A and B are shown apart, each in its own frame.
Chain A
């Protein structure tokens, strides 16, 4: 079982990952859940509440595409607002990780 802090951390990053994933291509729920669950190790079911929230916040919109087999798939597409959100969050993330890395590296130098 993951440490609580780590779980919190992953959760915060999840939205950023979804935005980044959708920037390159539209995707349907299973695709998103499958790719991100493997990458950041979390329950796949969490994607759907998150997608509903992002849809309500107008960060993504949905459309249906007929599937070769089975029922139509619900695809998610980034809106203009979603793209702006992504670049904002990306900048914040990059700045944050750079600062943390700088501190971690400094610590390493000090002990080694």
Chain B
């Protein structure tokens, strides 16, 4: 198989899922690089070897795109995108951080779920309490109203806490990842090894 085709195919595979125009932009950059290299009299094999591992290049491009979207949008989807993109890098680069990060994310997710349920209970309970038909409670009208208001408040603050935590975490990891992106050394996808 031709080395150029092999490189381009592996790069394209690594970029799958990114916006189509971004992908074609990136592919064009490398396509042009091969063209220029050929003109300079280099072989495809030599050019590909000096470019580095395409799968790794794709991971860096993805992670960078994820971080940038997060910096632009600050939405929940962007945060998850950035974290997922970083996990692709992290899984290779910082084997120690990855499991910890996954555990933390699972815990935050569970807490957010609990907070959301609390929200819902308070939200459903409040109108029922106001109409004095709250089930499973033998308190007075005032007690029931305050109880459901309290539940609602606790739920909201819980959700807010989870959101703030996630934002902080994403910012922190973004900074960390940028500082630790490793250069692609020609021909060796794992150069540099795992640093502390």
Q: Do A and B bind each other?
A: yes
Interface residues of A (CB under 8 A from B): 1-2, 4, 7-8, 10-11, 14, 28-31, 33-34, 37, 42-46, 48-49, 51-53, 56, 69-71, 73-74
**Contact: B35 with A7, CB < 8 Å?**
no
Which residues from chain B contact A43 at a C-beta distance below 8 Å? 50-52, 183-186
**Contact: B26 with A52, CB < 8 Å?**
yes
**Contact: B193 with A4, CB < 8 Å?**
yes
Closest to B29 in A: A48
CA distance A28 to B184 in the complex (A): 20
Which residues from chain B contact A48 at a C-beta distance below 8 Å? 26, 29-30, 33, 57, 61
Number of A-B contacts (CB under 8 A): 93
CA distance A73 to B180 in the complex (A): 31
Asked if A7 meets B50 with Cβ closer than 8 Å, knowing A33-B33, A45-B30, the reply is no
Asked if A30 meets B182 with Cβ closer than 8 Å, knowing A4-B195, A69-B39, the reply is no
Which residues from chain A contact B33 at a C-beta distance below 8 Å? 29-30, 33, 44, 48
Interface centre among B26, B36, B180, B184 (most CB of A within 10 A): B36
Which residues from chain A contact B127 at a C-beta distance below 8 Å? none
**Contact: A7 with B183, CB < 8 Å?**
yes
Q: How far is the CB of B61 from chain A (nearest CB, A)?
A: 5
Q: How far is the CB of B96 from chain A (nearest CB, A)?
A: 15
**Contact: A45 with B51, CB < 8 Å?**
yes
